[in-house]
Every structure is written in C-alpha cells, then in structure tokens.
Amino acid sequence: KTALARTYPKAHFQRCLVHVMRNICAKVRVDDREKIMNEFKQAHQQTNKEEATAVLHDFYTKWGKVYSHVIRSLKDIEPDLLVFYNYPKQIRASIYSTNMIESFNNVIKR
C-alpha cells in the first residue's frame, strides 16, 4: 500500500471484501461463521457510507468481546474497507472485490 501511495498519490485503496471475509472465517468458530458473515456483509449492502460505518461499528460492538483479535484487525484496515462508497452505485461491486481482476489475470495466464 505504501509503494502504491508513493507511485500513485491520488489513488484510492480498497481492500477486497471477499478476501477480508475469508480471513474472518478462518479466525472464528465454525458455529459462528454464517452469522458473522451475514452481519459483516451488511456493511457493504447499505445505501451510503454513513450507514455502512454504523453497521460496521455495531458489528464491532457485538463481536468484539468474543473475537477481539478479529475486530482489532478490522479496525486497523477500516479506512480501506468502505472506499467503494465514494463511487457510483453501478460500479461498486467491481470495486469492493478483486475477484473480477483475478479472474481476468487467470485468463491471461492460460
């Protein structure tokens, strides 16, 4: 991220929410995974950044005692989680996940 910021100082940095969710899943109990994922997904299904931030902070409050290490990690990257809300709704899905880019790169490799 630091190298990108030096090279492209006006660029915005968005964490891939799919990868963030995979990381969360790897760090929580199997019994809690579905519930946690459904609640975390709510953060990127809101209509605006303010609502999404409120949902994310509610998520922190609810799960912070049980999974403090997960919440701490999310708080560390929070500035990079909701950047896609700065863009029009029509293109947000292509911004919050790198899956489309990764798929394209795999096609090129083949």
- For residue 99, what pLDDT is reported? 67
Sign of CA dihedral 37, 21, 7, 100: negative
Q: Chunked in runs of 10, what are the mean pLDDT values of the chain (110 residues)?
A: 90 89 96 96 94 97 97 95 92 76 72
Give residue 93's pLDDT. 79
| Distances in whole angstroms, Cα of residue 46 to Cα of each of 4, 11, 39 | 28, 24, 12
Q: Given this model, what pLDDT does residue 6 score?
A: 93
pTM assigned to the model: 0.82
